[in-house]
Amino acid sequence: MRGWVLGGMVLLGAWACGGVSLDDAVDEACAGTLAGDLVITEYLNDPVGTDTGQEYVELHNPTRATVDLHGLTLYAARSDGSQERAYLFTSNVPVAAGDYLVLGDVREGSLPAHVDHAYGDALGALGNTGGKLGVRCGERVVDEVQLTAPSKSGVARIYDGRLVPDSAGNDDPERWCDGAGAEDAGPGRGSPGEANAPCDPTLPPNTSTGDAGVVESCVPMGASTARPVVRPRAGDLVITEVMANPRGDDTLGEWVELLAAVPVDLNGLTVGTDSSGTKLEGKTCLSLTAGERVVLARRTDAVLNGGLPQPVATFGVDLRNSGGVVTVRAGDVLIDAAVYGPAEEGVATQVSASMADAKRNDSQDAWCRATEAYGTRGNLGTPGRPNHVCTVGGGTDGGVPDAGASDGGRADAGSADGGRPDAGSTDGGVRADAGTADGGRPDAGTMDGGTTDAGVPANSCIDRSTGKARASRVPDSGSLVLTEFMADPSAVADATGEWVEVLALRDVDLNGVTLSNESGSSTALTSTLCLSLRAGGRAVIARSEDASVNGGLPSVFGTFSFNLANSEGNRMLRLSVEGRLLDAVTWTTAAVPGVSSQVDPTRSDPMRNDLAGSFCPAPTAARYGLGDRGTPGMENRSCAL
């Protein structure tokens, strides 16, 4: 329950799980690089002739953000770990999201065309028949593989190109093979700097049933032979129009428009919101040419969907009328995301024709209401057709930057305005307000400034179920737990995207609960309605309740006005009510941009969340809204203790 004494027992960076721990020394320069953020996908350990100057190692970045090798160590050793040789990256060597980087044993002269960075003689000679090869930050291993022998000298060893590069999957020697292709296709008959070929090109993809890492295949229209799906990278598909509130039944008439920047297939992609999605599946290739627009809809029948052009696929996720986020993902990779505000009935929200790419559609000014009619019900939009040009400042319904700059812990000037959606209930079950619109979502509480109805007695609130005043269920010691916080969002500015998650261990009302930081800044959650949270429920308290500016958070229970510092120092979050401490956590290290700090699920109580190693960075696969890492309003992922 109690926060640790500053300078004494602390969270040790709040990144202990899967990151810094009491026993895990980490170089400060690479502290934000986690296990799995880089994957070894190819190596040449037995060149023809002398090994000196010819060996290389290929790294792949499977994440959605650039990973810098600064501070990391590339190492090689015998299989038992003995006779290790290592190379420390002392300067910035960025690897862009989805890219490959080749590190070579180049000791003099200019770099060969296939090598991006030289490690010189630091590793000596890699083991020709066995050994270890890895990358780590301090003592934290980012990825490590066992070296195996090629069938003959001069042939690279590659991770099966039919499999999605993965730091766990590449531990299996059976998933590696000799590089194939013409002798002059590349050094060592491999593919340094590029995606690998399948280990057995005679087998169609998906032969290894049950392996989630196998690349999917599809049959092109008019063909009889399957080919691998052309997966889009981030930015290859652009969300250009969203109809969240059509006239008539939303479950029949909702749709999303996508624009292809390059030729891609839609097979295997997931279209959805911050909380759920529909995977687009089918044996036939859902292929798009560069510049082609397609519609994904709730129904394919034009009679039911309001007269849309033929959709290429359907999805089964509800788009919230009160505002939300639409995402397109390839596995864990975010291809594009769009955030929209409260939807006007019968009017689509669209990207200006001049700003239809994955970067410029992040600007709020890129979006505006549609003006052209389509179909049979008088809806406005241009599904499958070019959008019109929005007037300057005309778009306020969507498009929040995917990569807001860090503000160093200082609150950004200004705040978002415009219509704010009603906050939905958290996954612990806030009771629906019978009188609210859009599915009965309760309004979010306000901090410091909420008024009290004259008819509501002190220490009372209006029950959402009965509509009558009742005594507030005041939390006591041990009933609320601080379980997660985002101090430095990347998708949006700190002043609108910071948030804190609270877990209830029994039924309580949050009316009067105060959240404060180490500087003494505090705000109290106030509302005439009972801010009810059932046992096991989680509440998100954020800088903004508007999904169009807060990075696509789920329902926000209330807002706070002070900032969470990004830099190193003695930091603290504290929950209290009526002057009594409910829970507190402290930490000392700088926030990692775009990554929340979360408590391990096994330590979700006010005592054990104080233990060293209880907090860790949200894992790479845990994404919300526009792509930042975290699980706001949902159960946390396990930390690697």
Q: What is the pLDDT of residue 79?
A: 86
C-alpha dihedral sign at 158, 164, 165, 167: negative
User: Structure pTM?
Assistant: 0.44
| Residue 156 to residue 553: CA distance in whole angstroms | 45
Placement of tokens 């599915």 in the chain: 439
Residue 417, φ and ψ in degrees, nearest 5: -130, -165
Residue 102, φ and ψ in degrees, nearest 5: -110, 125
Q: Rounded mean pLDDT of 588-603?
A: 90
Length of the chain measured in residues: 641
Model confidence band, residue 408 (pLDDT cutoffs 50, 70, 90): very low
Record: fold of 446-629:
Immunoglobulin-like (2.60.40)
Q: What is the pLDDT of residue 201?
A: 61
Residue 486 predicted with pLDDT over 70? yes
Per-residue model confidence as pLDDT tens digits over 55-103: 999 999 987 688 999 999 999 999 888 899 999 999 999 999 889 999 9
Q: What is the pLDDT of residue 11?
A: 37
Secondary structure, 3-state, 384-421: CCCCCCCCCCCCCCECCCCCCCCCCCCCCCCCCCCCCC
| Residue 436 to residue 434: CA distance in whole angstroms | 6
Per-residue model confidence as pLDDT tens digits over 8-18: 323 333 443 43
Residue 430 predicted with pLDDT over 70? no
Higher pLDDT, 17 or 570: 570
Per-residue model confidence as pLDDT tens digits over 174-226: 889 998 643 444 455 688 999 888 887 655 443 433 343 455 788 888 888 88
Q: What is the pLDDT of residue 406?
A: 35
Q: Which three-class secondary structure state does DSSP give residue 30?
A: helix
Q: Which of 93-97, 198-202, 472-476, 581-585 has the lowest mean pLDDT?
A: 198-202
Q: Rounded mean pLDDT of 544-554?
A: 86
Per-residue model confidence as pLDDT tens digits over 496-540: 999 999 999 889 999 999 999 998 899 999 888 888 888 888 999
- Do the two domains 237-380 and 446-629 of this chain adopt the same fold? yes
Q: Rounded mean pLDDT of 372-394?
A: 86
The span from the first CA to the last CA of the chain, in angstroms, equals: 21
Residue 461 predicted with pLDDT over 50? yes
Q: What is the pLDDT of residue 31?
A: 85
Please list the alpha-helical segments (H only) found in 426-507.
494-497
Cα angle: 302, vertex 303, 304; to 5 degrees: 90
| Residue 565 to residue 522: CA distance in whole angstroms | 14
Q: Domain 31-189 carries which CATH code? A: 2.60.40.1260
Q: Which CATH class is domain 237-380?
A: mainly beta
313-314 and 293-297: which strand pairing? parallel
Look over the chain and give the mean of its residue pLDDT values, rounded to a whole number. Answer: 79
| Residue 292 to residue 265: CA distance in whole angstroms | 12
Residue 122 predicted with pLDDT over 60? yes
Best CA proximity match to 264, nearest among 201, 312, 304:
312
Q: What is the pLDDT of residue 257?
A: 96
367-369, strands of its sheet edge to edge: 313-314, 293-297, 255-260, 237-243, 349-351, 367-369
Q: Rounded mean pLDDT of 243-257?
A: 93
C-alpha dihedral sign at 317, 318, 320, 321: positive
Burial of 369 from C-beta contacts in 10 A (0-12 / 13-18 / 19+): middle
Q: How far is CA 278 from the centre of its chain?
A: 17
Where exactly are the structural domains of the chain?
Answer: 31-189, 237-380, 446-629
* Amino acid sitting at position 293: R
Model confidence band, residue 459 (pLDDT cutoffs 50, 70, 90): confident
Sequence-ordered list of residues with C-beta below 8 angstroms from that of 441, at least 6 positions apart, any chain: 322, 421, 422, 423, 424, 425, 432, 433, 555
Q: What is the pLDDT of residue 619?
A: 87
Contact assessment for residue 92 and residue 170, using Cβ atoms and an 8 Å cutoff: no
Cα angle: 266, vertex 268, 269; to 5 degrees: 60
Residue 560 predicted with pLDDT over 90? yes
Q: Which of 53-57, 189-193, 436-440, 627-631 has the lowest mean pLDDT?
A: 436-440
| Residue 559 to residue 541: CA distance in whole angstroms | 5
Q: What is the pLDDT of residue 6?
A: 26
Beta strand extents in 212-332 (DSSP E only): 217-218, 227-228, 237-243, 255-260, 264-265, 270-272, 277-279, 287-288, 293-297, 313-314, 324-330
Placement of tokens 């070894």 in the chain: 40
Placement of tokens 């309740």 in the chain: 545
How far lies 282's CA from each of 192, 224, 269, 299, 301, in Å? 32, 14, 11, 16, 18
* Amino acid sitting at position 383: P
Q: Rounded mean pLDDT of 118-130?
A: 91
